[in-house]
Structure 1
């Protein structure tokens, strides 16, 4: 049994906030509240502690609650009403979310980067009673034909003049939020997340933090309470969009419930990120590999101050080994971590931090304690990952057929990801089910190929995908951002490490970062469109 297993047994024992028991046929946190707003209300106790930093705007927890209460009183909604959130990352977005839940509403987090007709269609689809928007998105909504009520962020009340009538607590299965899937395959769908779903997703993140704290106390030879009392306030750099589960859960709600400071970035800029990390003493940074490379490259050039960082992570798949080694070299004081989750699972399926992460660096995490998992394939083979647990969504809004296609009557959710799980519970993501290339009758998982390419010296970023081929049906090709490595070297490396038929037929180098969608995933639709102009074959 590892040290982390012993810590887990200790912090999830009887009577603890994270005590685990069985309800409704699945493991749950038995002491969890039924209403997310009840957890939020507890953070009033943080008072004058800094909560949100956005440019020149600095708000304490007390400031945020004054604004939240004032906005909640002005919404004029009924319990269960859907309320749209259509803004860039901002204090206003977060205050809007809190106000919606305070009135018993359902927060509908739309992709604020969408085109006018897309934004209007999402809100019309859910029958939004009202929309909270910044001025730019309000204009886009009107351009897209949205005719409903909009309150613009600059109109939010900043102090309370209206009494906030009490609202009866939500039931665990009541809807709390609707988050839209990225839409890279098929039409956009709104995943309905209940209070129970979000609470358990957040508590799983909190459990990870508590385990890190116990691990630090063990390392420094002290007790947890002494360590907690002497640590500075945690601060997270919010770079993921708030309309995505990573932004909502790990960069907003989880830090807020822990009394942390949230430092907002409107768009990714590595120089600004380094300035904020140093100026605000940011302790937690989580981003996609491109962001991590940007940070490291700028840090080396400018001798940036990364000394405050104690937690660095990414999610979705294992970090390229060369990137992991570079981060550990630049930030030896930081705990490393990775995680795997989906919008439909409230962001939580697997996670590994500290010792757990370093022990198996090629994994996407260890299956979390409340997650039932099975692989839809013969034992020992990769197959579609299926999960069940209290964090799995209620379904897709107004999409019964699409819900039934992925969510069984007894709660098993088909993730669409292909992977394997070892005897210790480490999960290895091979690829997206719909991103597999069939070339010459052979199945090639793009993520497997990308893992090999990404570990090569000189490769900063890479993506593999299929293009039509008369002879093979599909031909695997790749784009690479990097230097000091050749096409032939990449083809040879993949062929030797995997199999000859899995090596890309062509590799093309680009100088700009690969295009990504709103939630940070490489946009392979755009890459396929780019290929004919850049391939030269």
Structure 2
């Protein structure tokens, strides 16, 4: 598709182009927004609100601490392992102001996953929640991490409430296992040491890496996508451009239930909403639907960012259905396919249509979205400004409009490459800047894109990528396993559920409970299989490669979906 083809597809008032070089780096956007919206609320969590001005002051204190009390240098990597709490934006923006590269880390990671990510990224510092500090105790000695900063859930709250919340979490709910990290510094102590101290503001170039965002890409080995300052600036502008006709800077109240360490929420809430000076309501535990709904009842929210699983869960809540949705004017969906029944039910309950979008970690992440003015359910919309899409055949040749092929993307939001993995980068990103997504799609005459299937074997569980290679590698370490395979099967709640097939060694026997216990000990919860099937053999090619597609097809036939 040519650039001229896409220029005609945008609704009136939306420019087909953005300027990714309008700001030298993310910090320039941060400074401008925190001055322009200094008295406006930026983030709210557990009843405590930080204004943009306060966030800038606190992030400055953290940056000053890093510069004066550690040996960290610009370009060093700092792992940030926290759920949605006020500490997250303070730490992330403070680290970037000190010139560090942020490595977003899932708080649910197991020791094995943390060790791989920290070593692969070469992280020298870690900021984590006390709830997972016992895991850090095991991992840190096996890595190059020199500095550990620990925070508790309620640390940003007023003194009395902080004591109460932290005590309940630790002693009543027993969510903070004992740990021993002698070198650890408390985040509040670090902020106190940096408060009021001058910051040597970093001045990275647009091509410098701002964030290492880990993903399996098209294989199961977790790789760090190098997202530059220019990538993030481009994507925040692209998102802002498509919403400008419907949203007002500094006036929107945005619900943030998706984890900020995930690229979808990170870019939208920490980047795009920062650019527009809007108010993000951080939901720490969206799985607790009653508490989530209670929080929603306290805000006249105008924007809701979610995914299919969450829409289903909320619409199933009687208390949610009773809320006042009169201010809601935009609902965004991403991270996993939006089901038609979910979209219709959400519209029925809230009166607001869902705009589905599409993206990848490697594209910072937004590639396309349904414009609010023209939503086509079942499609992923049109490419965001300054973005080109095309479909190619198995040989990489461009296909004509209406053909089914692999979706490829080109734009200023496409990553620099995979961290220290030139071969893997070359497999997905060509010399002209086209990124192969691994998704099979068709581009319609009107410019809207429809995803047909996934070329890769990736499983998508509630918006999280799960890679069969990783699961099979872990499962193969269980004594008694001869062959194994992992696939995704349709699931109403999570989009897909994981099923594993196991062939045991001769004379050996295993139970489903043993398999699941082994997986639970080695992978994050959402990667643990829901179903286990034991077989005498698995379908294979003549060179011994297990045919996952055949297993998937069998499952779909059983369900009457093929």
TM-score, scaled to structure 1: 0.73
* Match for residue 95 of structure 2 among 84, 100, 105: 100
Residue segments in structure 1 that go unaligned for 5+ positions in a row: 13-18, 21-27, 214-227, 437-445, 448-464, 466-473, 483-514
Q: Deviations over 1:148-191 (max 9, x none)?
A: 31112342444554533333522111111000115794111110
Q: Are positions 1:211 and 2:248 aligned together?
A: no
The corresponding residue for 1:271 is 290
Tell me the distance in 2 between the aligned counterparts of 1:527 and 1:434: 21
SS in 2 for 1:248: helix
SS in 1 for 2:532: helix
Tell me the distance in 2 between the aligned counterparts of 1:368 and 1:82: 30
The corresponding residue for 2:532 is 529
Tell me the distance in 1 between the aligned counterparts of 2:531 and 2:453: 17
How many pairs does the alignment contain? 432
Q: Deviations over 1:477-529 (max 9, x none)?
A: 955549xxxxxxxxxxxxxxxxxxxxxxxxxxxxxxxx9xxxx9986x72553
Q: Are positions 1:421 and 2:439 aligned together?
A: no
Shift of residue 476 of structure 1?
Answer: 10
The corresponding residue for 2:392 is 376
The corresponding residue for 1:319 is 338
Contact in 1 for aligned 2:80/2:126 (Cα 8 Å): yes
Tell me the distance in 2 between the aligned counterparts of 1:404 and 1:433: 18
Tell me the distance in 2 between the aligned counterparts of 1:475 and 1:69: 46
User: Aligned runs of 1:127-526 on 2, under 5 Å?
Assistant: 127-144=122-139, 145=141, 146=143, 147-153=145-151, 154-156=186-188, 157-158=190-191, 160-181=194-215, 185-213=219-247, 228=248, 233-268=251-286, 269-299=288-318, 303-316=322-335, 319-332=338-351, 334=352, 336-357=354-375, 360-377=376-393, 378-379=399-400, 380-435=402-457, 478-481=489-492, 526=529
Contact in 2 for aligned 1:191/1:396 (Cα 8 Å): yes
SS in 1 for 2:348: helix
Tell me the distance in 2 between the aligned counterparts of 1:394 and 1:142: 33
Tell me the distance in 2 between the aligned counterparts of 1:184 and 1:361: 26
Q: Deviations over 1:66-95 (max 9, x none)?
A: 211110001133221211111222111111
Contact in 1 for aligned 2:9/2:446 (Cα 8 Å): no
Q: Highest relative contact order (Cα 8 Å, sep 6+), 1 or 2? A: 2
Contact in 1 for aligned 2:439/2:453 (Cα 8 Å): yes
Distance 1:30 1:343, change over 3 A: closer
SS in 1 for 2:391: strand
Moved more, 150-159 or 340-349: 150-159
Distance 1:301 1:84, change over 3 A: closer
Q: Deviations over 1:45-70 (max 9, x none)?
A: 22232222111432222221221111
The corresponding residue for 2:551 is none
The corresponding residue for 1:498 is none
Moved more, 380-389 or 181-190: 181-190
Contact in 1 for aligned 2:285/2:292 (Cα 8 Å): no
Tell me the distance in 2 between the aligned counterparts of 1:166 and 1:381: 53
Contact in 1 for aligned 2:369/2:383 (Cα 8 Å): yes
Distance 1:83 1:300, change over 3 A: closer
Tell me the distance in 2 between the aligned counterparts of 1:302 and 1:351: 26
Residue segments in structure 2 that go unaligned for 5+ positions in a row: 1-6, 152-185, 394-398, 461-467, 469-484, 494-518, 536-554
Report the aligned-residue RMSD.
3.5
Moved more, 241-250 or 178-187: 178-187
Distance 1:355 1:187, change over 3 A: same
Tell me the distance in 1 between the aligned counterparts of 2:452 and 2:412: 25
SS in 1 for 2:230: helix
The corresponding residue for 2:22 is 32
